[in-house]
Amino acid sequence: MILLRSGSATDVGLIRPNNQDVAFTGKGLFVVADGLGGHVGGEVAAKLAVDTLVGSFFINEPQQSPGGEDLLKKRLLRAVSQANHAIWKTAYQNSELRGMGTTLTAAVWVSNGEDEEAGKLIFAHVGDSRAYILHRGCLKRLTVDHNVKEELKNKKQTSKDPRIALRAKHVLTRALGVEPTVNIDMFQAAFLDGDRLMLCTDGLTNEVDEDTIADVLTNLSDPTVVAEELVRQARANGGNDNITVVVVDATVLEEGTGLQKDDLQKDSSADIFIAAQSDDSGGISSFSDPDLPSTHPFLHWLRNLFTLRFISFILLLAALAGAVFLTLRWVTSHSYFVGLDKGYLAIYKGRSEAFLGFSPKLIQKTDVKSSQILQSRLPDLQNGVEVSSLHAAWRYVNNLVKEAALFQNNPATTTTLANTNTTVGSG
């Protein structure tokens, strides 16, 4: 199996007021980011980029990884794209952060089939941070700077004026978060037993030449010590920018050695990552770290289910349901009808029939018996006679009593007294 030992160091430098660089090492993923966009914006952009990338990459990590490196490339590309969108959206919503962005160089390890002495690194790169591999004493730069100087160089239009060349070096042509979408350089490189990877921001490469970097990478063994020494030399040479370095070593760990993670970390401040080899399919091995508990498949399913979009949809449905409930409650609380209760006329609040679960409520029971009114009115009262207000309800009851008295004094008279007053008044 392959043993990956990593170390990192970062420093604000001697000129900048704050450190806008961010680094991450863990579970076979290694990242550096160099923020840009003012005193606050650059720091926010770099941190947001790394947090989003790491969160997206690992929250979508399957328990098993069929499909090999193609699946890993897609996961890394998706994670970087989501980081770009997160920065752009945050800047769009906050005028103080407009124009912020960041460089980003990320590498993730993948096994190389059954070959226990070989593996690969898949890279995603935007900006002018860099990735190098030291292989058998030879330092090779893997990334291309996305700045005006590199673009002019490719077009063979370099300027002889050192001031123009310096300015062109610091003008980026590509950065994360500046636009809604970004072109991402995706590539891979072999990472063999004894190789050493270095990711760094331009605070190192602007101050320390590649020959000196190669000497330090070759002559010092502990990854953290290497990173700290490179940062120290960048400060000694001027420290005009933030400086961040990540160093990763690949070593084949023979099975049966009995070494544990604690044993490997003795006399070393490096982070240890043990990457088991993949099966016969040549797919990616499952990442394993003794310090990180595995995720149960059910919890992983829940994590993918409760996305921000899903939660927003549920909250919207809840808001709509609440609005409908309050509307219905208002309608029923402002409705009245006259009916019967144990042989007496009564006034109710609500609808005469239960409406979507809202039952009518008896609010006043009159002393008028059902025998005191015309019997022809009883069927309507049994169903409930709706009125516009409490005042109109009392008016209707009084009219029924008057109607019955008038009928008794003159039985031959037909009256519509009660009907003509069912909706009179506005209590």
Of the candidates 121, 94, 80, 103, the residue with the CA atom closest to the CA atom of residue 174: 103
Query: Is the same domain home to 8 and 57?
Result: yes
Instruction: Mark which of 291, 306, 322 sits at the end of a domain.
Output: 291
Residue with the bigger pLDDT between 283 and 373: it is 373
234-237 long-range contacts, Cβ below 8 Å, gap at least 24?
A: 234/11, 234/13, 234/203, 234/204, 234/206, 234/207, 234/208, 235/11, 235/13, 235/14, 235/207, 237/207, 237/208
Instruction: Say if pTM beats, i.e. exceeds, 0.75.
Output: no
Assigned domain for 339 exists: yes
Q: pLDDT higher for 278 or 140?
A: 140
Q: What angle do CA 194, 198, 201 make, to 5 degrees?
A: 180
In 169-326 the beta strands, taken as DSSP E runs, fall at 185-190, 196-200, 243-252, 271-275
Is residue 314 in some structural domain? no
pLDDT, averaged across the chain: 81
- Confidence grade of residue 145 (pLDDT, cut at 50, 70, 90): very high
Percent of residues in the chain assigned helix, strand, coil, to nearest 5: 40, 25, 35
In a shared domain, residues 147 and 286: yes
Whether 286 and 340 map to the same domain: the answer is no
Question: Which among 399, 387, 385 has a CA at the least distance from the CA of 425?
Answer: 387
Same structural domain, 163 and 228: yes
Look up the CATH number of the domain holding residue 221.
Answer: 3.60.40.10
Is residue 308 domain-resident?
no
Upper half-sphere CA count for residue 274 (Cβ side, 13 Å) = 17
The Cβ-side half-sphere exposure at 132, using a 13 Å CA radius, reads 24
Q: What is the pLDDT of residues 363-408, one digit of tens each?
A: 888 999 999 999 989 999 988 898 888 889 999 999 999 988 888 8
Residue 273 shares a structural domain with residue 368 = no
Residue carrying the six token digits 């920065």: 87
Answer yes or no: is 426 within a domain.
no
Residue 423 has pLDDT above 50, yes or no: no
Domain that holds residue 377: 332-421
- Does 252 map to a domain? yes
| Number of domains into which the chain is organized | 2
